[in-house]
Amino acid sequence: MEQMTKYLIIIASLLTVKPTESKNDTKPKIDRRYYQMPIFINVCDIVDRRSKVHCYCDSNKLKLATRADCWIFSGGLTEDDAIWPSFSSQSEIEHLMFNVRTDDALTFIPAKAIVRLDKLKYLSIQFGTIKRIPPYAFTNSSTVRQIVLKSNKITNLDKHSFSQLMMLSNLSLDDNLISELKRDVFFNLPNLHVLHLSNNNLSLLHEGCFKHLNNLIELRLDVNYISVVTKEMLEGLENLSRLNLRNNKLTMIGNLAFSELWGLKELMLDNNAIEYISERAFGGLIQLRKLTLSGNKLTSFYEDILEDIRSLIVLDLRDNLLTTISYETIRPVVENDKSLSSVVYLDGNPLSCNCRLSWIYTLRNETKDSTLRHALEKITCLSDTKDSDRSLNDQIEEPVDNSNLLADDNYEYYDKNSEDTVEKVNNENSKAIKLTDLPLEELPCPKEIMQSIEESYGHPIQNEIRLKAFSNGVRILPNLIIIVLMVIIL
């Protein structure tokens, strides 16, 4: 290697004077000579002002630079350009960035440069117009740890586009136009931990497209057009801990959709159009700690949905279309692990103000956790027009504290460093009343509700007792009532 360099330097010095141009000026001949004996270029010290590439490095001396920021100013660079092999002049580069300033100035992955960089750890190409990533585009680099290809025009990922990269741990393909993920695009990447595909055009995830990513920890698929998730699509992601599917087009979550993800801790499904969640949708998510479903179209949330998730400590159901929610539904969250404080967000739903929500008062008074208390205090409800309670109408005029809905510092309880902020659709509702501003005894309790509550649990006043009973894990009371009722019916 050393000798090679010396040899190149000698050639370079011999060639400082441009080769005498032959009389016969036909293009192919000149090109051939150019490539046979390249003019030696130190990529960190490009003096030719006409050069399409300029790199700013931490050292201009030959083979001393470890960081290079390269700017590409004008179009027409080809994969055969002499600049690419010249990267051997700086073979110590670990950190290489290409910033593309003109459209169509860089339309491919410069493999001929990458292959010469034996120490490369970080590669970034931004604002280029790369459309396609061919197989083995990164020349099987055994050193590269992070690849960032944000804001290009990538539409196609081939089979083995990202393959044989033993050290690759982070890959970002954000802000491209990828519409489909085929199988075996990601192949033999034993260290890939983070994969970002946010803000693409993804609507089709082929079954098994992540099959080889057994060590992936974080997957971001937010801001795409995904309308279905199935178990088969997520096959292989057995070590995934965070899955972000915010801002997609999901309308329902089917049974066991996430059951391949045994290790999942955070599932973010905000801002989709989810109307329906199957009873066993979250089956298998035994380690899930945070589930966010805000900004969807849920009108009901069944009691059994959370039964499968025993470790949940954050549940976000803000800005849905829920008209009521029972204590039974959220019980697995608030009672799951006393040593961890858990929180349930319910504001921004058109809950109706009635005694079905009385458990919220009890929970708010009982909880020692201020995050949960604040979250409960933000819950608003809509007074039922049919039932015109005077004292309720007085309260309606009160301004609703909507500013706090957005500025919720406690939201990222589980992961405070999470950079994602969910855009909230603010359910402006002039009739919304802060539930806990209403005295509990003024909460309307129409006969039918009273009856249905009585049937299932006994008198609403007993809710507090019931809540205490449940928190001790005793569920005998309602069972007894059901048995008694059945006996009566029979």
Measured from the CB of residue 485, what is the shortest distance to ligand NAG in angstroms? 49
Asked if residue 278 binds ligand NAG (CB under 6 A), the reply is no
Which candidate, 38, 43, 40, places its Cα nearest to that of 59? 43
Could you tell me the smallest distance in angstroms from the CB atom of residue 153 to ligand NAG? Answer: 9
Cβ closest to ligand NAG, residue 129 vs residue 179: 179
Q: Are 292 and 316 in contact (CB under 8 A)?
A: yes
Residue type, 282: F
Read off the amino acid at residue 293. L
Confirm or reject binding of residue 140 to ligand NAG (CB under 6 A): yes
CA atoms within 13 A on the CB side of 161: 23
Rg (CA), the chain: 31
CB nearer to ligand NAG: pick between 86 and 169: 169
The SS3 of residue 359 is: helix
From candidates 71, 73, 136, 414, binder to ligand NAG by CB under 6 A: 136
Place of tokens 């249905």: 452
Part in contact with ligand NAG (CB under 6 A); list of ranges 93-101, 138-146, 336-344, 378-386: 138-146
Give the number of residues in contact with ligand NAG, rule: CB under 6 A: 22
Q: Which residues of 275-290 are buried (b: 16+ CB within 10 A; e: fewer)?
A: bebeebbbbbbeebbb
Tell me how far apart the 2 most distant CA atoms of the chain are, in Å: 112
Question: Could you say which residues in the range 165-224 bind ligand NAG, by CB under 6 A?
Answer: 169-170, 177, 179, 194, 201, 203, 214-215
Element (H, E) at 6: helix 2-14
With respect to ligand NAG, which residue has the nearer C-beta, 116 or 145? Answer: 145
Q: Residue 118 Cβ, how far from ligand NAG at the closest point, in Å? A: 13
By CB neighbour count within 10 A (0-12 exposed, 13-18 middle, 19+ buried), where does 76 fall? exposed
102 binds ligand NAG (CB under 6 A): no
Task: Write out the two tokens for 4.
Answer: 């090679």
Which residue's CB is nearer to ligand NAG, number 12 or number 111? 111
Of 9-17, 20-28, 293-301, 395-403, the segment contacting ligand NAG by CB under 6 A is 20-28
Q: Which is nearer to ligand NAG, 102 or 188 (CB)?
A: 188
Residues that bind ligand NAG (CB under 6 A): 23-24, 26, 136, 139-140, 145-146, 155, 164, 169-170, 177, 179, 194, 201, 203, 214-215, 225, 238-239
